[in-house]
Structure formats: structure tokens, C-alpha cells
Chain A
Amino acid sequence: MQISIALIVLVLSLIVFSIFYRGLPSLTWEMVSQTPKGGYYFGKEGGVLNAIIGSLYLAFGATILALVMGLPVAMLMNIHLRKFKKLVNGVRFLLDLLWGVPSIVYGAFGFSVMIFFGVKTSLLAGIITVSLFILPIMIRAIDEVVRNVPVGLLEASMSLGSNKSQTAFMVYVRQCSSAIVTAIMISFGRAIGDAASVLFTTGYTDSIPTSVMQPSATLPLSIFFQLSSPIQEVQNRAYASAAILTIIILIISVLSRVISNKYNKNKIS
């Protein structure tokens, strides 16, 4: 049984180690500061700045959109619809189902909707698709904490004359701030790392997008395309890009821990 634990820890360290071992030697400043120049995919000069910026745009956009829709729904479920237990549990059930839907299905669905409206692949389409994909994660992560807030807080706030929305967005949001930050971080990590849903919707380009209607490169797809090249030089760059993505994910993971610990201090229990 100790072996199984050791195996899990070993596998994680092996993944991080092997990515860094292959990726870091080819990770130069050029890689993160330049867009691909002509002949980049044949081993000429350039970097993956387009993919890094594209991924950040996409992940920020999708996370903000999911937060704008998700936070009110999580509050609505626990404050406004507090008395309708069955309905709320039904919604939770539905969200859990949606959580399990693979991202490629969202991608295919988004793609067919885009064809239906005659829209080309663009950053906006990618943002909307990814935000639909991370929405259930966001809501359930917030909801799980909001539902455990003591009723006394709601009663106190209401008895002081505030309405339900004020209670939700001025009292509960503060009380659950650490959970909300964690939810944002989890969703952001999901959004930046997902390849299957952006494959159809965001497209790929070598330049940094200047408007949301343009297609955009993303880091996972950039890794994928570079890795399928037969040229060693380009493959090495794919490993370097993978190292960049791993670093971003690890930073998010550490950051969410630090922030949630910090916000936990001003919380009543």
C-alpha cells in the first residue's frame, strides 16, 4: 500500500522532471519573446509568444465570462432559492453531469453552432466555448462552500434591512472570497490547458490577435503542432513550450494555495 502512494508521488515528479529535462535546455529568451518568423516550423528563428499571449487572452476571457455567469448562479442557488431544496439539488445534479462532458464534445458543439451562424474561427468563439466548458466547474466549486455558510449570516444581514442580492454580493462574497479565488484558479488552469475544445473554435495563427474576432494560437495546440514535425529542432521547441505551460500551471497551483490561505484569515466560522 505504501508502494501505491510512492508510485503516485513518483509519477508526478517523473512527469515534471521529464518535461523540464527535455524542455529547459531549448528554452531560450527568444522562445518567450518572439512570434514565429518565416520558416519557424522548419527550424528557423522565432518563438511562441503568439501562443502564450493567445492562451492568456483565451483563459482570462473565458474565466471572467464564467465568473460573471457562475457567481450569480451559485449565489442564487443558495440564497434566493434556499427554500426550494429539490430544485437546487436538481441543478447541482445537472451541473455534475455537465462537468463530466468531455471538452471535445463542447468543441464539436461550438463548431457546429459556428457553422450554423457562418462565423469563422476566432478568439471570441474560443472564449465562449471554453467558458461554457469551465462554467460547471466554477459554479460547483463556489457552491460547495457557499452552501456551508451558517444561516445566521443570512439572517443577520436580512434583519439589518439588506435585500437578498445585497446579502449575496456584499456579505456572502466576502465570506467566501477564498473559495471564489480557488474556483477562479481551478477554472483558469482548466481553460489554459485545454486543447480539444479550442482545436475547432479558436483556429491557429502566427500573429498575436489584435481583436476578438481574429483567430488565435494557443499553447497546447502550439505544442501539439510542433511535436508532429519531423525536424528535431522544432520538436525540442515543443518540449520547451510544454515546459512553459507546466511552469504556468505550477505557478497557478502555488498561487491559489497562497491566496486562499491569506483570505481564510478574515472569515467567520
Chain B
Amino acid sequence: MRFLKNEKVLNVFLYLFLGIILAMPVLLIVGLLFKSESVLHANSLSDLLFSTEWKPFQGKFGFYSYIYSSVLVTMLALLISVPICLFAAIYLTQYAKSVYLKVIQPVIDILAGIPSIIFGVWGILVIVPLISHYVAPFFGIETAGYSILAGAVVLSVMIIPFILNILLEIFKSISKELPQASIALGATKWQTIKYVILRKAFPGIVSSVVFGMSRAFGETIAVLMVVGNVAQIPKSIFEPGYPLPALIANNYGEMLSIPNYDSALMFASLILLVIVLLFNLAARMLISRYETKI
């Protein structure tokens, strides 16, 4: 390891690598902005964001129905996974023996490591038939199963490990004295959890939800496979939708043949990037404020 002795040369590389990483977010935004410039020129921003008219051949790109689908799928997924994660985290940190956590941790890690395409295959194998044969008929609706609901269920399973991991960290970081003081004052275990622990952990819980939200918002392949991909404003959760990432992934082949189409899809990626960055920024702010408080 002789080369380590010459620090000057090595440092150039070290700082170069750091520089590349620091430049990444700027590069991402500038690059995508640069590519989406021509569609921004041809259409107004409000038309792009709030119009449902999607006619690439006429140069009309309204992303509203895609954004709507994305938001709907994400919200529904959070609605399913947040309560599960919250209960699981409370149980694991407050009630269960520490052995349980040791058993559950590998399960969470494996779940986090499973590729999204596998979740998609699982969705087609299990969730889609389940919805078309059992859930939808129960409500008296007929559907092929490829729906917003299917996308949301698959997504909710995918984001459970992310949210749960953060929640576990947060509950573990709450000092032992607080619940002890509460119990000493005569509160029951459940009252302590409800009024002391949950209140103390609240900013952390919010930020974990926001993290899950940004993760769900950008998820592509798994959702694309089960959500049906019909560009419309879905009237119920049993109807198919067409989220933004699926739009980008589905049209990558043909986007060069139609003018401004590639630019529009790059604009879609830009929307995705900006929304996710904002979510993440908000969540980080919340969590860092919370960390300094303790």
C-alpha cells in the first residue's frame, strides 16, 4: 500500500469523488430541466399540471390524471401500512420480550431487500385474483382486479419495512425515565403509551410516514404491473389508474418518434424528483429538530 504515502495525489481523488456526489442532485435537476424545456415552452405549466388532456400527437400533455392516480395509490398504501407499522412498533418496543425483536429484525430486513419486480409478480399471483374474485364481489362490483386498490396493497407491503425500521429507531430512542415517571404517577400502561410515548414520538412518526410516502410515490415496476394502466380519473379504488412512474416506464421506447414526447416524459421525471425531494426535505427537517430536542 505504498501509494497511500503520497497523500497529495490521493486527496485529489478523494475530493473529486466527494465533488461528484455533491453535484449529483444539482445535475439531476438541471439535466431534467434542460430536457423538459421544450415542452415547458410549448405548454403552460398550469396546463401541464392540471389538464387531463393527453394527446401526444397534438402536442397536448396534461399530467393531471397521472398525478391524481399517483397520489391516490400512495395515500391508500399509507392508509393500509401506517397503522400496521405503528402497532407493530409499539408492540415490539413496549410489550414484547427482546427476543421477538431479534426474530422480527431479519424478517424486516429480508422484506426490505426483496426487489420490486418480485412484489409485482406476487401482486399478480395473489392480490389481483383476490380482489377480482373475493373483495370486489363482496362490494357488488365487477373488476379484473388490476386496480388502484391492487397497486396500493402491493405498495403498502413494500413500504412497511422502511416505515417500521424508522419507527423502531424512534421508539427505542425515547428515554426510559419518561414512561417510568408516568407509571409512577399512576397511569396505566396503555395511558402511558397513548399520552407520553406517542406524544413524544409524534414528529418522528410524521417523518416516518413522509419517508414512506416518498418511497411509495416513486415506486415503478411493482405498481405498473398491477395497477391496470388506464389514463383516467378513477372514480373508485376498484378502477384502474395510471401513476406517473408507470407512464415514464411504459413509454420509453416510443418517445423518440413523437415531437416533444421525450421532453414531456422528462418533465414527468422532474415532477417526480421535485416532489420526492420536497417530501424528504420536510421529513429530514422534522427528524433533525426532534433529535436536537432529546
Give A69 to B85 CA distance when docked, in angstroms: 35
Q: Which residues of A contact B126 (CB under 8 A)?
A: 14, 18
Using an 8 Å CB-CB cutoff, how does the interface string of B6-39 with A read, 1 for contact, 0 for none?
0100110111011011101101100110010000
B72 within 8 A of A: no
* Contact call B88/A1, Cβ cutoff below 8 A: yes
Contact of B217 among A72, A102, A112 (CB under 8 A): A102
Chain B interface (Cβ within 8 Å of chain A)? 1, 4-5, 7, 10-11, 13-15, 17-18, 20-22, 24-25, 27-28, 31-32, 35, 83-85, 87-88, 90-92, 95-96, 100, 104, 106-111, 113-122, 124-126, 157, 160, 164, 211, 214-215, 217-221, 225, 245, 248-249, 252, 262, 265-266, 269, 272-273, 276-277, 279-281, 284
* Contact call A100/B211, Cβ cutoff below 8 A: yes
Q: Which residues of A contact B90 (CB under 8 A)?
A: 1
* Contact call A7/B1, Cβ cutoff below 8 A: no
In the complex, the chain A residue whose C-beta lies closest to that of B250 is A199
* Contact call A132/B225, Cβ cutoff below 8 A: no
Given contacts A98-B25, A135-B21, A73 and B14 within 8 Å (CB-CB): yes
State how many residues of chain A have any CB contact under 8 Å with chain B.
75
Give A13 to B16 CA distance when docked, in angstroms: 45
Contact of B87 among A4, A94, A257 (CB under 8 A): A4
* Contact call B125/A166, Cβ cutoff below 8 A: no
* Contact call A8/B104, Cβ cutoff below 8 A: yes
A-B pairs with the 10 shortest C-beta distances? A102-B218, A193-B115, A1-B91, A108-B269, A196-B220, A220-B117, A4-B87, A100-B280, A4-B88, A195-B221
Give A239 to B96 CA distance when docked, in angstroms: 37
Smallest distance from the beta carbon of B48 to chain A beta carbons, Å?
16
A119 within 8 A of B: no
A12 within 8 A of B: yes
